[in-house]
Amino acid sequence: MRLTCTVNGEQRHADDVWPGESLLFVLRERLGLPGSKNACEQGECGSCTVYLDGQAVCACLVAAGQAEGREVVTVEGLSPGGELDPVQRAFLDAGAVQCGFCTPGLVVAVHDLLAANPHPTDPEIREALAGNLCRCTGYEKIMDAVRMAEAS
Ligand code: FES
Ligand code: FES
């Protein structure tokens, strides 16, 4: 099938797409957007989190065919023109990035959290990020990044 959807504000096409392949595969391998990471491919780690019609989803669990005609925003789309989103800036400033594999998904998840709840409590942050796994940081720097982002 030919897949047509809006990605980061631009209409994009991908040809020869198998409808059952994942949106994550389409983004990374067909559309040249490697920001969303592929760690588990099972909806367990959150490293592939993107917005689909404004809702944060695991792109590895979305079939490409489900994205037809819809609007996708990836972590790349949060920094149009290369200007970092405050959440991205906060992750850097807080030192919340080590290997970085979890970071794109966390950035989208935090962006989503703060859009809905600009001043979350610590338990609310932990709950919102429960689906995003990080093997490196111990999460405290990530909590710092969220607090910095909400203050900016
Ligand atoms: S790669 Fe999608 S949740 Fe892990
Ligand atoms: S920084 Fe390595 S998994 Fe989070």
pTM tops 0.75: yes
Which ranges of the chain have pLDDT less than 50?
Answer: none
Predicted pLDDT of residue 63: 97
Nearest atom in ligand 2 to 106's CA: 4
Query: Which residue has the CA at smallest separation from atom 2 of ligand 2?
Result: 99
| Ligand 1 binding pocket mutation candidate from 45, 62, 135 (most atoms within 8 A of CB) | 45
What's the pLDDT score for residue 151?
85
- How remote is the CA of residue 103 from the centroid of ligand 2, in Å? 7
Cβ of 100 closer than 6 Å to ligand 2, yes or no, is yes
Q: Of 41, 50, 44, 45, whose CA–CA distance to 22 is shortest?
A: 41
Q: Which ligand is nearest to the CA of 91?
A: 2
Q: What is the pLDDT of residue 19?
A: 84
Please choose, from the candidates 34, 47, 28, the residue with its C-alpha nearest in 3D space to the C-alpha of residue 108. 47
Distances (CA, A) of 56 to 59, 137, 138: 9, 23, 23
Question: Coil, strand or helix: which one is 148?
Answer: helix
